[in-house]
Amino acid sequence: MADPHTKAALSRRKLLTAGSMAAGLAMLADVSHSQDNPAANVEDRGTNIQITSLKGFRVGTKAYIKIETNRQITGWGEVTGLEPMVAVALAQSLFELLDGENPTRVEYLWQKLYRSHRDMRGGPFMTHVISAIDMALWDIAGKAWGLPVYRLLGGPVRDKVRYYSHAKAHKVGTGGPHPHSGDPRDIEPLVKNIKQTRERVGPDGTVMFDAHCAIPPAMLIQLAAAIEPYDILFLEEPAVPGNIEVFKRLKESIKIPLATGERDRTIWGMIPYLQERCIDILQPDCAHTGGISQMHKIATLAEAYMVPLAPHCTCSELGVSASLQAAFVVPFLVIHEMYLDGHLMPPGVANKTFKVLDDGHVTAPEGPGLGVHVDESQFEKVNADPKRKFVWPKLTLPDGSVRDY
Ligand SMILES: [Mg+2]
Please give the pLDDT value at position 45.
59
Domain assignment present for 240: yes
Taking a C-beta distance cutoff of 8 angstroms, is the pair 171, 136 a contact?
no
Cα of 313 vs centre of ligand 1, distance in Å, is: 9
Cα of 126 vs centre of ligand 1, distance in Å, is: 21
Domain assignment present for 138: yes
Domain assignment present for 223: yes
Cα of 206 vs centre of ligand 1, distance in Å, is: 16
Domain assignment present for 393: no
Please give the pLDDT value at position 27.
53
* Domains: count for the chain: 2
User: Going residue by residue through the chain (405 aa), what tens digit of pLDDT does each one get?
Assistant: 344 454 444 454 444 444 454 555 555 555 455 566 665 665 555 678 999 999 999 999 999 999 999 999 999 999 999 999 999 999 999 999 999 999 999 999 999 999 998 878 889 999 999 999 999 999 999 999 999 999 999 999 999 999 999 999 999 999 877 888 888 888 999 999 999 999 999 999 999 999 999 999 999 999 999 999 999 999 999 999 989 999 999 999 999 999 999 999 999 999 999 999 999 999 999 999 999 999 999 999 999 999 999 999 999 999 999 999 999 999 999 999 999 999 999 999 999 999 999 999 999 999 999 999 999 999 999 999 999 999 988 888 888 888 877
Cα of 19 vs centre of ligand 1, distance in Å, is: 40
Cα of 60 vs centre of ligand 1, distance in Å, is: 21
Q: Are residues 223 and 288 in the same domain?
A: yes
Q: Are residues 71 and 21 in the same domain?
A: yes
Q: Are residues 114 and 55 in the same domain?
A: yes
Cβ contacts of 14 within 8 Å, gap of 6 or more: none
Q: Are residues 169 and 312 in the same domain?
A: yes
DSSP per position, 107-150: HHHHHHHHT-STT----HHHHHHHHHHHHHHHHHHHHHHTSBHH
Last residue of a domain, one of 83, 113, 148: 148
CATH of the domain at 174: 3.20.20.120
Domain assignment present for 327: yes
Domain assignment present for 348: yes
Whether the predicted model's global pTM rises above the 0.85 cut: yes
Q: Are residues 192 and 312 in the same domain?
A: yes
Rounded to whole angstroms, how far apart are CA atoms 339 and 315?
Answer: 8
Q: Are residues 219 and 332 in the same domain?
A: yes
Closest to 371 measured CA to CA, from 335, 332, 333, 323:
323
Cα of 210 vs centre of ligand 1, distance in Å, is: 5
Please give the pLDDT value at position 66.
98
Q: Are residues 89 and 61 in the same domain?
A: yes
Domain assignment present for 294: yes
Cα of 284 vs centre of ligand 1, distance in Å, is: 11
Rounded to whole angstroms, how far apart are CA atoms 192 and 381?
Answer: 41
Which residues are designated catalytic?
212, 312
How do 74-79 and 161-164 pair as beta strands?
Answer: unpaired
Which residues, in sequence order, are bridge partners of residue 54? 67
Domain assignment present for 292: yes
Q: Are residues 128 and 230 in the same domain?
A: no
Cα of 255 vs centre of ligand 1, distance in Å, is: 19
Cα of 262 vs centre of ligand 1, distance in Å, is: 7
Q: Are residues 103 and 171 in the same domain?
A: no
Cα of 263 vs centre of ligand 1, distance in Å, is: 8
Q: Print the domain residue range for 358.
A: 161-373
CATH of the domain at 96: 3.30.390.10
Which residues, in sequence order, are bridge partners of residue 56? 65
Q: Are residues 210 and 75 in the same domain?
A: no
Q: Are residues 130 and 175 in the same domain?
A: no
Closest to 191 measured CA to CA, from 158, 242, 232:
232
Encoded amino acid at 52, one letter: T
H or E element: which one contains 322? helix 317-327
Cα of 80 vs centre of ligand 1, distance in Å, is: 14
Q: Are residues 130 and 186 in the same domain?
A: no
